[in-house]
Amino acid sequence: MDNGTANSIYVDRITIIEMSFYLSSGILGAIFNLIVLFIAFRHVDTSDKPRQIIVINMTLADLITCIIYISTRPILSRASENMCYPYYVLIFVSQFCSCFNLLWLNVDKFIYIKHPLNYYLIVTRRRVLIVVWSTWIGLTFLGAITYSTMIIVHPCNAVKISDLIYLYIVIMYVVIISGSFIISAIIYCIATNSRRMEPSARSQLFKRLFFVFSSTFWTFITCIPYRLLYLTYFLLNDFLSQDFSPFFYQLTDFFLYFIVVGILMNPLITILTQRLYREKLFYYFKAIENIFPCIRKNNDDDFYDRRTVIYSEPKRLLSLNSAITNSGCEDKMKEIDSGRKRFNSCIDVPVIYEKGAKKYEALRIHHGGFNRNMVANEI
């Protein structure tokens, strides 16, 4: 029942299956988190979206957990005694930092939905940075004090800390994660009961809130069961000396593994639920295919950036062939490859609306390769 911060004393006996589980989860989790951080540092504008600073720090905390805790779990009993103190402090800081950043993310969305007009006046990049840095510094200081009285029994998988100290650690986990879940529930109620929104606006709002809802719900179901079970064991066994059945210990160990799976899935949730990360990951996959033609399914596939043009009108059909024909801008194009053209300037694009009306709008294309045979892309 040890999760890296347990106060019980025992010599760890890890099986080959558990060793493979921890190593694979740690390596995959580190890779996924590094992908998210790479995309964030390359493409995220934190001045325009300060909340992404919270996402970056939450991902960084999960990366530290994957590298420091999950990956090293199989060899923990072989570590030097001098490494035990910084090891447990880092685990404490990284796990709590991930939980706190999830809480700040929910608070951010609550401000966004409660005060939409004043959101960017309340939530600024400077204030978010202050909150994030204060979280890291405060947790580091708290972790250093918490484990200053730690007694090392068997480096580094068997240590002992005060029962009261460990009690407040478990309670902090439960309170922070439950608080995030409660705020998400409040946000959901506000969004669903608002009568001022049009159906399309409400649908767009839920798309923006989906990442927070999914991350909070996933963290809640993966972390809370183990914490509650261990809290039950701690209170009844240590204070009331009540024995438990072997099934209780097996269930607790199962939810400990579930926490590891939860940490592994966190970056995947970020990629799948946020369009920026999803589109950029797809973009880099296409770039790899473009570099290595041997792995491409079809060498004639087009490689282009879908972010070149953004349209505000709904349900419009754009025909590039008719745009080329009607605008008479053949002389403004130059050949790249066979069957591919690059637009260098402004062209007139025919736009078809729902009622069948048709007019031309100026479209400026700065870069991007388009296939001449591409017709009727709905945007």
CA distances from 203 to 93, 200, 206, 277, 315 (A): 37, 5, 5, 20, 16
In a domain, 346, yes or no: no
In a domain, 4, yes or no: no
Length of the chain equals 379
Structure tokens at 149: 């009285």
- Residue 97 has a pLDDT of 96
In a domain, 244, yes or no: yes
Spell out the residues 6+ positions from residue 21 whose beta carbon is closer than 8 angstroms to its own: 257, 260
In a domain, 342, yes or no: no
Distance CA 322, CA 26 (A): 52
Distance CA 362, CA 200 (A): 27
User: Amino acid letter at 142?
Assistant: L
Q: Give the domain range for residue 68.
A: 16-291
Domain of 40: which CATH number?
1.20.1070.10
Tell me if residue 362 falls in helix, strand or coil.
strand
- Residue 301 has a pLDDT of 45
Tracing tokens 């409040």 back to the chain, one arrives at 186
- E strand or H helix that includes residue 111: helix 84-114
- E strand or H helix that includes residue 351: strand 346-352
- Residue 111 has a pLDDT of 94
Sign of CA dihedral 258, 270, 187, 52: positive
Q: How many helices (H) and strands (E) does the chain have?
A: 10, 9
User: 316 burial class (0-12, 13-18, 19+ CB within 10 angstroms)?
Assistant: middle
- Residue 245 has a pLDDT of 80
- Residue 299 has a pLDDT of 46
- Residue 338 has a pLDDT of 42
CA distances from 319 to 117, 119, 197, 227, 327 (A): 38, 39, 33, 57, 12
- Residue 76 has a pLDDT of 83
In a domain, 229, yes or no: yes
> What is the model's pTM?
0.74
Distance CA 173, CA 45 (A): 31
In a domain, 297, yes or no: no
- E strand or H helix that includes residue 29: helix 16-43
- Residue 128 has a pLDDT of 96
User: 330 burial class (0-12, 13-18, 19+ CB within 10 angstroms)?
Assistant: exposed
Up-side HSE of residue 378: CA atoms within 13 Å toward CB?
4
Structure tokens at 42: 């390359």
Tell me if residue 363 falls in helix, strand or coil.
strand
Q: Please tell me the total count of domains within the chain.
A: 1
Whether the CB-CB separation of 109 and 185 falls below 8 Å is answered with: no
- Residue 184 has a pLDDT of 94
Tell me if residue 159 falls in helix, strand or coil.
strand
Q: Running along the chain, 379 residues long, what does each successive block of 10 average in pLDDT?
A: 41 77 94 96 91 95 94 84 90 95 95 90 94 96 91 80 86 93 92 73 79 93 90 75 79 90 94 91 87 62 42 42 45 42 47 54 46 37
Tracing tokens 């999760």 back to the chain, one arrives at 3
Number of other residues whose CB lies within 10 A of the CB of residue 195: 4
In a domain, 319, yes or no: no
In a domain, 376, yes or no: no
Pairing state between β 369-371 and 158-160:
unpaired
Torsion region of 11: left, alpha or beta (phi above 0 gives left; psi -120 to 50 gives alpha): beta
